């Protein structure tokens, strides 16, 4: 699937909370080929600082060539993005990387932490095309209620069962998203799709192994090009034989293929 570079018009901007934004872009060439778990690289303005493109999971695609990204304002790049208005353009490269493998198993656990929830909405939508909703459970964790309440509603509106955890106990179970996994019991072979910070993914992989669930994780690494040229996004594989690269071999990996260090 070849990558495209597009000047994508911003159709809509949503501020979900103080520092989390959802942008809807008109990017038909990229949206047409996109699969859940893939990502885009977005250029920060026309200037030289910040220099590098920023990677974002594809949050959703919709009819008419629409593509959404979800981001949290963390540094200079995301701060610049947050100031953009509908009608302005973003230089977007995508779709990139290897997305989630799905539709092989009969029970699906979508496990997201914080801003890592982004690609799971797209995945849920695709899973619903071939599965009944009770076969899909969405487990979301964050530090506070503000970070996940809108997203939880988005999954809920799709008719999916959503379990929530927050570290401060302001919504759902007080604790970590892995605490939501522990009590679950599957009747059929189950697949876990996880995206979030590295320690969370490591914990999700461990819980999944204990329950004999197959687990895929979407890894976030620093990267410069997104297309396999810079080799900056090295990930140590489980066999420790050389490195694999998040942009081409991932960002989605089988949890058993990653050397969890």
**Applying CB under 8 A, which residues contact another protein?**
2-5, 43, 48-53, 91, 93, 221-225, 227-236, 242-243
Task: Give least dist CB 243 to another protein, A.
Answer: 6
State which H helix or E strand residue 134 sits in.
Answer: none
What is the residue-wise DSSP string for 148-170? HHHHHHHHHHTT-EEEEEETTSS
CA distance 178 to 200: 8
Task: Give least dist CB 10 to another protein, A.
Answer: 20
C-beta of 107 vs 220, nearer to another protein: 220
State which H helix or E strand residue 96 sits in.
Answer: strand 89-96
Task: Give least dist CB 237 to another protein, A.
Answer: 11
Residues written for the chain:
261
C-beta of 107 vs 249, nearer to another protein: 249
Q: Let me know: does 65 contact 31? Beta carbons within 8 Å.
A: yes
Per the structure block, which two tokens stand in for 173?
């179970």
Task: Give least dist CB 110 to another protein, A.
Answer: 27
Whether omega before 50 lies within 30 degrees of 0, making that bond cis, reads: yes
Task: Give least dist CB 236 to another protein, A.
Answer: 7
C-beta of 93 vs 194, nearer to another protein: 93
C-beta of 36 vs 226, nearer to another protein: 226
Contacts 24+ apart (CB under 8 A), 224-232: 224/52, 224/53, 225/41, 225/53, 226/3, 226/39, 226/41, 226/53, 226/55, 226/93, 226/94, 226/96, 226/97, 227/3, 227/93, 227/96
C-beta of 128 vs 227, nearer to another protein: 227
C-beta of 91 vs 101, nearer to another protein: 91
CA distance 256 to 258: 6
Task: Give least dist CB 209 to another protein, A.
Answer: 24
């Amino acid at each position: 699937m070849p990558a495209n570079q597009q000047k994508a018009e911003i159709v809509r901007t949503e501020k979900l909370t103080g520092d989390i934004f959802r942008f809807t872009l008109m990017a038909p060439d990229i949206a047409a080929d996109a699969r859940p778990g893939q990502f885009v690289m977005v250029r920060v303005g026309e200037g030289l600082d910040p220099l590098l493109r920023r990677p974002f999971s594809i949050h959703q695609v919709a009819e008419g060539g629409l593509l959404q990204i979800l981001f949290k304002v963390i540094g200079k790049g995301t701060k610049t993005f947050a100031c953009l208005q509908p009608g302005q353009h973003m230089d977007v490269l995508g779709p990139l990387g290897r997305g989630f493998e799905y539709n092989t198993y009969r029970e699906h656990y979508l496990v997201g932490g914080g801003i890592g929830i982004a690609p799971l909405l797209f995945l849920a939508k695709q899973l619903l095309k071939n599965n009944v909703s009770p076969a899909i459970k969405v487990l979301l964790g964050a530090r506070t209620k503000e970070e996940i309440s809108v997203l939880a509603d988005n999954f809920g509106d799709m008719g999916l069962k959503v379990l929530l955890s927050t570290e401060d106990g302001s919504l759902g179970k007080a604790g970590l998203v892995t605490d939501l996994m522990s009590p679950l019991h599957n009747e059929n072979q189950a697949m876990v799709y996880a995206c979030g910070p590295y320690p969370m993914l490591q914990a999700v992989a461990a819980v999944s192994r204990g329950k004999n669930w197959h687990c895929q994780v979407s890894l976030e690494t620093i990267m410069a090009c997104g297309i396999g040229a810079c080799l900056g996004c090295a990930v140590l594989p489980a066999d420790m034989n050389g490195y694999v690269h998040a942009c081409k071999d991932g960002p989605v990996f089988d949890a058993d293929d990653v050397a969890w260090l």
